[in-house]
Chain A
């Protein structure tokens, strides 16, 4: 693998030098006659050499295992598959054996020819164990045969891949080299190819998102086949039990999520917004240059550290000074704890975004207001904030979607008990915490208790996506007015 890459890069470098030389030569050494700068001719050849070859290499590497798996799997007699537990398990065994033989050959336990002539009677398991490869069970003839054809196909595939990649690279090199003359619009061609690379990158990013959603959709569908959707979306109880008979109602988790997020926003929005107004409108440049980074330090603290702060400091304090004296409970894990600490975490989001937005309000509006005899606070209240309001709403919504997705602070601050309650000093929990809870430990991925995590994840994704889209919509809708 590595040597293929290195050779390709070497070819690319060679192409650069050759292309540049040929271009300069075709211009008779006078680079002013060239259509483009010499470096573009070289880059053109390099790109044509590398890009198609690398693309084919990448696709081949991804496709080959899938194709070979399919083919080997088709070879297995159906009767034998029925005997074994499942086709997937069998394929794992075959792959393991094939890899094992390869490793053994590499380590010199036996030579390539011996490897091909292995038979069941040779006690392969012991031989491989001697070579340092452990197998789970004795090898059956069917598995051995499949593993051998697996090895054969992989080897052939690898050879063909090497041939194809180098043929393509050389063809690209030759084509681009021969096309290089002084009139070739190398500059425009390079531009086009760079555009293609950029487009490929953005496509990959989008496809990844789609892939994530699709994989969630798949498991969510499996979940809803095992558990009725009405009970999930409208159930008021969250009581999973791995012996079956679980109640997996979304409502208590959603309530906890929204309750904690609400408290977090009640903390973060006023403080963040007032801080932003001070920074943008009142602070002198010196104060601003010191205070702004200090506030933004808050954004760099890992959420687990906030969680510890909630667990050790805020939780007990709230319990001792508020909850217990007021008779509202004596749990140090509470919605209030998680909400307040999460609010502190969100302050820099709100303040930093709002600060930028307030700064973007044109100075001419402020001048207009001052010119009419308004004071600074009148100007801020009646001109600057209304002008910045859409952006501020956007900032708040972005903060809200952060709050909804937060996990660590909730685990440590609010506990893991799903509960429907109005008392903010009670322990509750959120969707994210339960996703982690359902998937940690020994889980069986075909039970509704584990699969519910995907339904929860998808629900959360839809909520935050909706919030983000709404935020972007608001920000965009009102932005045009001042530009």
Chain B
């Protein structure tokens, strides 16, 4: 059975319907503060301090397995910050403090026993701006597997790289120049390369922070198609400014406003029959 067949098989399995309601990640009562410095101040204490930015306010979100969840909302509403809560990327920012609980398959990811580095291998991330490393295309994709020792030998690594590039729908364009620098690709190709790089470590959840904002409509369409494919293997969480995009690719949508989660529901319901007036104003273009 060739690899392509294997991938096709994967996809048909989904289409036959895997339970979409299986819970993958759960966030409860999450607050995020910037400029908080060190220490162990309580959420109430920090919220009362005017010098501290209260970026996320008591947010609860459930991320289901094999589902695309989109976060929408005006700029500065905290959706990217919240996304970075899910793989502890905020740990790398000075003065950023988070309170509340986030679990991945029932395990608290902010538990001191959890290694954030291991966590990020399970919760992959694709960024707004394509950021290929200044290495060859092959080395870009092989980066994660090499770090985590996922390949037994060279042939195995090559297979992982090919599979990831295929999954990111860029294999045909780059298969003849895997040694060329990843920085030499076009913007859309770079972004798909970054997606390939993220899926190469076989994460369980893939976080995408406005993955299409730097792309033209054609590349956007390709990436959206890709997101739909990725749902067969991963849960995908996507932050987007485009409501059409959210409507096209996601099954669940969360609307953030001023650091609060205003509404979180099935995408269809959010876009056709929102229960909160602020959501309605935003999707009809009156705020944001």
Contact = CB atoms under 8 A, between A and B. Distances in A.
A383 B133 contact: yes
Grouping DSSP codes into helix (H, G, I), strand (E, B) and loop, the A interface class, with mixed when no group exceeds half, is helix
A29 to B, nearest CB: 51
Interface stretch (B12-20, B114-122, B172-180): B114-122
Given A284-B94, A364-B129, A378-B147, A371 B134 contact: no
Given A364-B129, A386-B134, A371 B183 contact: no
B147 A387 contact: no
Contacts of A362: 131
A370 B134 contact: no
Interface in B65-95: 87, 89, 92, 94
Contact of A368 (B94, B133, B183): B133
B254 interface: no
Contact of A370 (B120, B133, B183): B120
B92 A368 contact: no
Q: Size class of A's contact patch?
A: 20 to 34
B27 interface: no
B131 A372 contact: no
A375 interface: yes
B143 A371 contact: no
A441 interface: no
B89 A370 contact: yes
B161 to A, nearest CB: 14
B129 A369 contact: no
B197 interface: yes
A364 B131 contact: yes
B73 to A, nearest CB: 21
Interface string A317-351: 00000000000000000000000000000000000
A372 B143 contact: yes
A285 B143 CA distance: 30
A373 interface: yes
B183 A373 contact: no
Interface string B136-169: 0000000110011000000000000000000000
Given A367-B125, A367-B127, A378-B147, 20 more contacts: A364-B127, A364-B131, A367-B92, A368-B127, A368-B133, A368-B197, A371-B89, A371-B120, A371-B124, A371-B127, A372-B124, A373-B119, A373-B148, A373-B201, A382-B133, A382-B143, A386-B133, A386-B134, A481-B183, A482-B134
16 contacts: A367-B125, A368-B131, A370-B89, A370-B120, A372-B147, A372-B198, A373-B118, A373-B121, A373-B122, A374-B117, A374-B143, A382-B147, A386-B134, A387-B134, A481-B183, A482-B183
Interface of A: 284-285, 362, 364-375, 378, 382-383, 386-387, 481-482
